């Protein structure tokens, strides 16, 4: 595990959609049009429309003490560097984020990946774990409100404003559909993969129920 410099790794919507499809396909999952549009919308929200992505970390996944890969430090992690900033809103925001990081409410480091494929593969792996499978199952509904509620309830981003984020996700979903339609399987391929898609949906649902029952 090493701390590496933060490096800008912008991505286009077409590239991100293709990486998502490939990452889940390698795990035996066929993403529906609705699921792909919502996952892509979330990544677009996380990365400022693909422009503010760093170190191939498309989901802005944090690096906890158990993370064994490379990491890059959040710009608010070092208080001395924060105090060296020009006084203003940015410095004030980073001070607040630094205090939140000390209290465990914000990450102090994020995961770093060597390639775009590595970053998307880890994002897919995360969503297929029991804790976040409810988020993946919500994506399969294709409904922005259901999906956004799951973003909060699973703890992926617990502090979001659900109503405002739902509106943003819905708008992004409509905007990104042309890129989704360019990479989703053809109707014939979808028909051939129906059994796999259904099995994937059922597995996600079972894992989501397991996670939700554990929280009750």
pLDDT at position 108 is 80
The answer to whether the predicted template modeling score (pTM) of the entire model surpasses 0.75 is yes
pLDDT of residue 138: 93
Helices (H), ranges, the chain: 13-25, 33-46, 79-83, 89-102, 116-127, 133-141, 144-153, 162-181, 187-192, 194-215
Per-residue pLDDT tens over the stretch 103-126:
667 778 899 999 999 999 999 999
Q: What is the pLDDT of residue 20?
A: 95
Q: Tell me, what's the pLDDT at 189?
A: 45
Residues 6+ positions from 80 with CB-CB distance below 8 Å: none
Q: Which residues in the chain show pLDDT less than 70?
A: 78, 98, 101-104, 185-216
Identify the pLDDT of residue 86: 84
**SS in 3 state form for 176-192?**
HHHHHHCCCCCHHHHHH
């Amino acid at each position: 595990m090493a701390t590496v410099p933060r490096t800008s790794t912008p991505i286009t919507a077409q590239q991100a959609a293709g990486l998502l499809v490939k990452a889940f396909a390698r795990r035996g999952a066929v993403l529906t049009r609705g699921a792909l549009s919502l996952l892509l919308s979330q990544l677009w929200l996380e990365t400022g429309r693909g422009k503010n992505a760093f170190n191939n970390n498309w989901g802005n996944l944090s690096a906890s003490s158990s993370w064994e890969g490379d990491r890059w430090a959040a710009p608010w992690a070092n208080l001395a560097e924060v105090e060296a900033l020009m006084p203003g809103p940015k410095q004030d925001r980073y001070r607040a984020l630094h205090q939140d990081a000390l209290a465990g409410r914000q990450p102090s480091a994020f995961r770093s990946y060597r390639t775009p494929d590595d970053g998307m593969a880890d994002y897919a792996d995360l969503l297929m774990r029991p804790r976040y499978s409810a988020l993946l199952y919500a994506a399969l509904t294709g409904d922005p409100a259901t999906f956004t509620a799951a973003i909060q309830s699973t703890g992926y981003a617990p502090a979001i404003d659900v109503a405002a984020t739902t509106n943003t996700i819905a708008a992004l979903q409509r905007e990104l559909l042309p890129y989704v339609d360019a990479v989703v399987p053809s109707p014939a391929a979808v028909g051939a993969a129906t059994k796999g898609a259904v099995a994937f949906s059922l597995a996600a649902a079972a894992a989501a129920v397991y996670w939700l029952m554990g929280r009750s």
